[in-house]
């Protein structure tokens, strides 16, 4: 019979156990803590731990995708040197954020090999996310916001970001619900999922509605279709159908009112102003990641380009955008290569959600723990874990 004290002592000296705990803490903190700095404390410890044990994981640098990720975040960090005005403090902050992102991606991939990380994270996000959503809904009805939109708790203080992150949590909950054998537990999971869907509906974000629906659809298709080629054909056909449906819908007054109640929300004007500035200054190298990307149009101040793709182009030019697209392409390719892994299907679902959402929102790829870690770096990390040492 095993000695429980020996088991506890072994766990205390197990680096992967501690790394897993830190990663889960990072993501849970986004849902609970309103301060991004406070939520980042576990990431600092995580980065320090990874640097101390560098010799134990440096073989990951042989993976092509990891090299492209390094090229992307290093290039964006280098752009601080041609940002206007140059700010040493801002430059150091960007480099630190790049280090945090890279250490997280590697740490997650390494912990995934143990097989317990996603179960821990899924359980934590299901519980904490369910409570956070319930509190957000209650707060919505108590405060009755003027704009009529539900905002999240913790760092999810805007309706769009809240709805998108709740969408990722919804995917975690659905994964538990479909895999659960016990009737009561399954009912509970679907009840939490229903609450999350209700919160997303109350956010009144059309972008989130469409993007989360795409993510959930991709997840359902991946569970239903076992062949990756058939899966890709289904996605292609679905994309064409959705595109046609949107065009038909916005061609009528009723459809436009439903999908675009606030019109185009200045998106064409914002994108036009962003592109004009990029082409005026440097389309190849970008304006610099630390350069302010605020715009004032018709007396209204917009804090960023409202598109992750344009934001990357603005910050690092065609070089950065090209590197970013390569990272996404190789991530999807690795996930499809490991399509029969449940982790790969889950990551593809998150990517489908985020890539569609980022056409209309998103602006910081190299950032402290937050929405980008949920939407981009999480599926990227999963794909590295699958390639580094494939798991079922």
DSSP conformation letters of 270-300: HHHHHHHHHHHH-TTT-S-TTS---EEETTE
Summarize pLDDT for 10-36 with one digit per residue, the tens: 444 578 888 999 999 999 999 988 888
156: pLDDT confidence band, cut at 50, 70 and 90? confident
Q: What percent of the chain has pLDDT over 70?
A: 89
- Checking if the pLDDT of 299 tops 50, the result is yes
| pLDDT, average across residues 268-276 | 83
pLDDT confidence of residue 5: 40
Q: What global pTM score does this model have? A: 0.90
Residue 203 has which token pair? 């956010």
Q: What's the mean per-residue pLDDT of the chain? A: 87
Contact 78, 135 (CB under 8 A): no
Q: 240 to each of 207, 210, 232, 233, 235, how far by Cα in Å? A: 18, 14, 12, 11, 9
CA angle 103, 392, 340 (to 5 degrees): 105
pLDDT confidence of residue 37: 82
- Checking if the pLDDT of 4 tops 80, the result is no
Shortest CA distance to 174 belongs to which of 326, 349, 357, 351?
Answer: 349
- Checking if the pLDDT of 48 tops 80, the result is yes
Say how far apart CA 194 and CA 205 lie, in whole Å: 17
pLDDT confidence of residue 157: 77
pLDDT confidence of residue 242: 77
When mean pLDDT is compared across 1-5, 193-197, 259-263, 354-358, the lowest value belongs to 1-5
pLDDT confidence of residue 264: 58
pLDDT confidence of residue 351: 96
Phi, psi dihedral angles at 115 (to 5 degrees): 90, -5
Contact 74, 47 (CB under 8 A): no
Contact 200, 167 (CB under 8 A): yes
Query: How many Cβ atoms from other residues are within 10 Å of residue 227's Cβ?
Result: 11
Characterise 351 by phi-psi region: left (phi > 0), alpha (psi -120 to 50), beta (else): alpha
Summarize pLDDT for 80-109 with one digit per residue, the tens: 999 988 889 999 999 999 999 999 999 999
Shortest CA distance to 27 belongs to which of 134, 129, 109, 130?
Answer: 129
| pLDDT, average across residues 295-308 | 73
Contact 192, 200 (CB under 8 A): no
């Amino acid at each position: 019979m095993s000695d429980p004290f020996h088991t506890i002592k072994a766990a205390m000296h197990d680096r992967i156990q501690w790394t897993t705990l830190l990663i889960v803490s990072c993501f849970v903190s986004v849902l609970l803590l309103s301060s991004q700095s406070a939520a980042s404390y576990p990431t600092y410890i995580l980065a320090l731990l990874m640097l101390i044990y560098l010799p134990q994981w440096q073989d990951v640098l042989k993976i092509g995708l990891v090299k492209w990720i390094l090229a992307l975040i290093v290039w964006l960090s280098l752009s601080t040197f041609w940002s206007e005005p140059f700010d040493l403090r801002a430059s150091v902050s960007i480099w630190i954020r790049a280090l945090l992102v890279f250490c997280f991606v590697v740490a997650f991939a390494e912990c995934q090999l143990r097989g317990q990380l996603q179960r821990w994270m899924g359980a934590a996000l299901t519980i904490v996310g369910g409570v956070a959503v319930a509190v957000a809904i209650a707060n919505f009805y108590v405060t009755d916001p003027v704009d009529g939109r539900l905002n999240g708790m913790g760092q999810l203080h805007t309706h769009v970001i809240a709805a998108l992150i709740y969408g990722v949590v919804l995917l975690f909950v659905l994964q538990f619900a479909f895999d659960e054998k016990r009737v009561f537990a399954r009912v509970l999971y679907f009840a939490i999922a229903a609450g999350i869907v209700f919160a997303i509906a109350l956010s009144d974000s059309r972008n989130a509605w469409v993007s989360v629906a795409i993510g959930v659809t991709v997840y359902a298709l991946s569970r239903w279709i076992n062949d990756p080629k058939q899966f890709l054909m289904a996605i292609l056909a679905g994309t064409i159908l959705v595109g046609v449906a949107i065009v038909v819908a916005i061609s009528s007054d009723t459809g436009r009112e439903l999908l675009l109640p606030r019109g185009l929300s200045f998106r064409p004007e914002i994108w036009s102003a962003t592109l004009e500035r990029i082409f005026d200054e440097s389309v190849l190298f970008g304006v610099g990641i630390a350069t302010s990307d605020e715009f004032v149009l018709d007396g209204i101040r917009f804090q960023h380009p409202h598109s992750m793709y344009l934001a990357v182009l603005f910050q690092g030019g065609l070089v950065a955008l090209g590197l970013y697209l390569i990272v996404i392409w190789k991530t999807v390719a690795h996930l499809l290569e490991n399509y029969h892994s449940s982790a790969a299907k889950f990551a593809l679902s998150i990517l489908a959600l985020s890539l569609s959402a980022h056409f209309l929102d998103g602006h910081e790829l190299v950032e402290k723990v937050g929405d980008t870690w949920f939407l981009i770096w999480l599926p990227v990390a999963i794909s590295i874990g699958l390639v580094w040492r494939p798991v079922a």
